[in-house]
A and B are shown apart, each in its own frame.
Chain A
């Protein structure tokens, strides 16, 4: 098979560039800990009362580590808090530099979970437990949006995470 010299050199360059990109991704996952959700556990969306999702909320595990149990449903996130914003949406407060592992499932249809400006992005699929760990390094208010279309009020399915400065 005849391949032009220029085209062969070009192909080698393409392979090298793609190789470097992919190596960077592997390094990002293994060295810098940017991880994707992985298959964890099945859960019955119609019988959440029998599981850890019966009591959504934020639990302090010590050492700056937290576990958040959240149930998504049309069209709100149950985060187990008693604090609400002006629009009636939940507010979750965490201290700065805390490392929060989110455990989320859905009680009805597929939802999404995305914290603005953080490495937190998951599909919340009924029947599956979605898990991701996020470290909150900067104080501030962050919008958490459902990003998977889930019906009429999908645009208003959100809650707020407030990262509080330890000094305050």
Chain B
């Protein structure tokens, strides 16, 4: 296998895309995405510790500004999990595709149209949430009803992301036509796979919102069906988390090896992992409906089985990345079974944030397999175990990797030095400690029977079994709050005040290793497999959920 080059080799490339800066058109479009992502998460992050304080039986503090717990919880979920992620991913994906393929987006104008659609969506949904007319949480289960602007806003975010995905597909196809017989760089391969998965999956939630919830909130229809809406939502809900995860995998597979100056252990199996996730991440969503009354036990067992299968590409990734990191450690003189780990760059925020994120993601993966175990799920479903789990994946593996990316990308975007490497490194360590403690204490409280999404601050009965563990989450929240303050200092400092030039080049390669298999780019075959697997796995579930004799029975209940 050919070694991955640390930076574009030819002079022409460097002239086209500066290693330590951005073209102005690129800066404006990508920067607009990153800016919205950061603004959204700055509110979302601060609400996290406030919720932990509200839920700790020893404190039960009111949440500042948003005194209604479930309003704050809705904002925390929507801003962090839907707005931050989508904007960050689209911006990051544009950057990866343009740099790797050394060509501008197919259409910068269409890129801006997509951004405007998504931004209007955020404003509409934000209006509904901030005015307390959408206290429905980020899963917005029917027949709870929010203001119509909430649904229209979310639909616009999704439609905008489709336009962005289309732009990326066309850019890839133009490159494909110009480069017959050449394999595409892995990072672009992963990006294309991610958007194929995302567009396929978000059809479910788009149908739910546009045909059920939006008409209901506008009074065009009077009835709906909660079970059918849950089925459509969870068609989308699980690949949603993979949509967040694949950019992190992209960084681990294609950027960390460049930053550590070693080749990735296996480029081919990385492609296989991305293909498996793209296809298998959708026909497994019933594992969110294990205790639903309207889904048959057979479907639950089948989806549980496929969830076990979709863990295989992540096991592959664990091996592949660990082997790559071991190469890096040994190349730096590390010896012994685990001694190489000491030689990784433990003072470099870009690396620390990502490697610690990976470690936390291992916990998230293992607890995820426990959730996916259909009978074990009875003990876990809707307890605080579940947010404990997904904070180690989303707020652990994914978020920490995104921050690792931000710590090299933001300086390039702004043409400035990272504001403070020590503070950025401290941010990563405090986040890791705080989120680990949060995950463990939430998990333990859940095993003792604490329900998730429950305003403990207003509860009349507090269990002595889980109370101590929810108190621990307040300590975790405090550590995380410190980390958030450090993050704000680093980001604001880098954006406005930092002096000096950026230090880290964009860790992007423009060539695939020779021998990278072309058969992995048979996208029409993969799309056909996505269609077939979902007809087989979701078709019966949907037919069973629909009440063909009586139609929809439920009326909406506004959650003001």
Contact = CB atoms under 8 A, between A and B. Distances in A.
A and B assemble together: yes
B374 interface: yes
Given A4-B265, A14-B312, A42 B70 contact: no
B268 A124 contact: no
A129 B550 contact: no
Interface in B190-212: none
Contact of A122 (B266, B291, B449): B291
Given A38-B296, A112-B382, A114-B449, A25 B461 contact: no
Contacts of B550: 42, 44
B297 A87 contact: no
A119 to B, nearest CB: 5
Contacts of B226: 109-110, 125-127
A21 B451 contact: no
A149 B137 contact: yes
A87 B461 CA distance: 9
Given A42-B550, A126-B554, A127-B554, A7 B292 contact: no
A3 to B, nearest CB: 7
Contacts of A36: 290-291, 297, 300, 374-375, 377-378
A143 B308 contact: no
A152 B383 CA distance: 19
Interface in A94-136: 108-110, 112, 114, 116-117, 119-131
B70 A149 contact: yes
Contacts of A114: 381-383, 449, 451
Contact of B227 (A28, A46, A127): A127
B35 to A, nearest CB: 31
Interface stretch (B8-16, B26-34, B346-354, B452-460): B452-460
A117 B450 CA distance: 11
Interface size class of B (residues with CB under 8 A): 35 or more
Interface string B113-141: 00000000000000000000001010001
Contact of A39 (B293, B308, B452): B293
B227 A128 contact: yes
A40 B293 contact: yes
B294 A39 contact: yes
Contact of B376 (A3, A15, A25, A128): A25
Nearest to B139: A149
B555 A46 contact: yes
In the complex, which of the residues B375, B455, B517 has the most CB atoms of chain A within 10 Å of its own CB atom? B375
Nearest to A86: B460
Nearest to A42: B547
Given A25-B373, A45-B554, A149-B70, A121 B378 contact: yes
Nearest to B519: A1
A39 B300 CA distance: 11
A124 B227 CA distance: 10
B315 interface: yes
A156 interface: yes
A76 interface: no
A21 B369 contact: yes
Contact of B379 (A39, A44, A119): A119
Contacts of B300: 36, 38
Contacts of B458: 153, 155-156
Interface in B508-560: 517, 544-545, 547, 549-550, 553-555, 557, 559
Contacts of B379: 119, 121
Given A109-B557, A154-B455, A7 B449 contact: no
B471 to A, nearest CB: 17
B46 interface: no
A130 B381 CA distance: 15
A1 B246 CA distance: 23
A29 B375 contact: yes
A120 B455 contact: no
A74 to B, nearest CB: 8
B53 to A, nearest CB: 16
Interface string B263-284: 0011011001000000000000
Given A143-B461, A148-B382, A25 B304 contact: yes
A117 B449 contact: yes
A28 B375 contact: yes
B7 interface: no
Contacts of B266: 2-4, 7
A22 interface: yes
Nearest to A41: B293
A151 B226 CA distance: 16
Nearest to A17: B315
A25 B272 CA distance: 28
Given A36-B375, A87-B461, A143-B463, A108 B557 contact: yes
B85 to A, nearest CB: 21
B331 interface: no
B106 interface: no
A77 to B, nearest CB: 14
Contact of A125 (B293, B463, B549): B293
A28 B304 CA distance: 14
B497 interface: no
19 contacts: A4-B265, A11-B312, A21-B369, A22-B308, A29-B374, A36-B375, A37-B297, A38-B295, A42-B553, A108-B143, A114-B451, A122-B291, A123-B293, A126-B553, A145-B454, A151-B135, A154-B70, A155-B455, A155-B456
Interface of A: 1-4, 6-7, 10-11, 14-15, 18, 21-22, 25-26, 28-29, 34-40, 42, 44-46, 74, 87, 108-110, 112, 114, 116-117, 119-131, 143, 145-156, 158
Given A21-B373, A127-B547, A127-B554, 12 more contacts: A3-B266, A22-B304, A25-B374, A25-B375, A36-B290, A36-B377, A123-B291, A123-B293, A131-B293, A152-B70, A154-B453, A155-B458
List 6 A-B pairs, minimum CB-CB distance, nearest first. A130-B293, A116-B449, A147-B382, A128-B293, A147-B451, A38-B297
Interface of B: 68, 70, 135, 137, 141-144, 225-227, 230, 265-266, 268-269, 272, 289-297, 300-301, 304-305, 308, 311-312, 315-316, 319-320, 323, 369, 373-379, 381-383, 449, 451-456, 458-461, 463, 465, 517, 544-545, 547, 549-550, 553-555, 557, 559
